[in-house]
Structure 1
Amino acid sequence: MSRSSESHAGLPKRLRRPATRTAVPVQESAPRDSGPAPTGAGDPGLDRFNTAPSAEAEATLLKCCGSRRWAQRLAAHRPYPDIDALLAAADEAGYDLSPEGLAEALAAEVSPGLHDTAPHSAHLALRAAHAAYECRFGHVFVICLDAFEPAEQPDQVLAGIRARLGHDPDQERVVTAEEMRRLARGRIIGLISDS
């Protein structure tokens, strides 16, 4: 037992004198460079996004997700040091979308369709499935197909609509918000890498 704890052993905690600490020398840091804020760490697309005027950055983001609040929030937090930071911010903003923000984003979406060369019967079946979905939930069907080859995508859309028609509205709202978040991520990656 140390000398200071011996002298305070019988006192209530509130009356004990705190133990003294040995000061640790603080290492002087080099002066900070007051140059421009970090941008895309050499990623030209991210650099352009980080340095674009706010209105231009928001317009770019609205191509990824049609919620103005979402786009404004991401544009306001620039610059992003790397694409991962931008995607993390997009995810966070997506999770925070209000029901009105989600409705605004969905209003900007177009239902996934088929290639022009698909058989007419396939177009009719997909159109009927979209109509049934929109009638039930009041908005377009959205699904992220990034993990599928183009040839698999039409089947995935039809299967997705059929499966999700069985959801109750609250359950479907959660699934739709997650699909919008995933779509926005993929679109951001595409836009930044194409820039």
Structure 2
Amino acid sequence: MPEQSRGAPGTPPPLEWFNAAPGPDAERALLSCLHSPRWARLLAGHRPYPDPASLLAAADEAVYDLPPEEIAEALASEPLPALPEDTYSAAHTALNAAHAAYEAKFGHVFVLCLDGVPEDEILDRVLENIRSRLANDPEEEHTVTRDQLRLLARERLNNALRDGGL
């Protein structure tokens, strides 16, 4: 089914579309949630899912199955957490410095799931988390980063199921 028609009247709900879609279409839709071809193949390969909760649980498990090089690939495609538009320039400077320190130490972009964080708390939450996580050793940070990627993928997948983007 063409992507633009999924939201049209008379089309199946997102999970039904996902369960019935050709493999490459399902994988392509999943890549918008987490840029990991292996993760997308794992999820698409285990269809059909009886309900969204089953798909979300499988998505969580699939992230844990990714080897470090595939986590690195997914991280390379992740944008930095976005700040509210009215954030003052000194905050951007502080955040850029924190991101640079993080990337210098760990070799990849900082990721943080901000699902449910009020917009006026985003800057503080991001800065607090970067500073806190800079104290982690690489192994500990790898574990935290993997979990944040899992949460980001879950949030995006849940949004796609709710909004018809899957």
Same fold (TM over 0.5): yes
For the residues of structure 2 that align with 1:162 and 1:134, how far apart are their CA atoms? 12
* Aligned pairs for 1:6-85 within 5 A: 44-85=13-54
Unaligned 5+ segments in structure 2 are 1-11
1:133 match: 102
Amino acid at match of 1:177: R
Amino acid at match of 1:49: F
Higher Rg: 1
Amino acid at match of 1:46: L
Cα contact 2:84–2:119 (8 A) shared by 1: no
For the residues of structure 2 that align with 1:107 and 1:59, how far apart are their CA atoms? 17
Aligned-residue CA RMSD in angstroms? 1.1
Q: How many residue pairs end up in the alignment?
A: 153
Deviation at residue 158 of structure 1 after TM alignment? 0.5
SS in 1 for 2:84: coil
1:108 match: 77
Cα contact 1:113–1:126 (8 A) shared by 2: no
Calculate percent identity across the aligned residue pairs: 54
Cα contact 1:66–1:108 (8 A) shared by 2: yes
Which protein is richer in helix relative to its size?
2
Query: Which fold has the larger relative contact order, with Cα–Cα distance below 8 Å and residues 6 or more apart in sequence?
Result: 2
For the residues of structure 1 that align with 2:155 and 2:31, how far apart are their CA atoms? 13
2:146 match: 177
TM-score (norm 1): 0.76
For the residues of structure 1 that align with 2:22 and 2:121, how far apart are their CA atoms? 39
2:161 match: 192
Deviation at residue 147 of structure 1 after TM alignment? 3.1
For the residues of structure 2 that align with 1:123 and 1:114, how far apart are their CA atoms? 8
SS in 2 for 1:152: helix
Deviation at residue 123 of structure 1 after TM alignment? 1.0
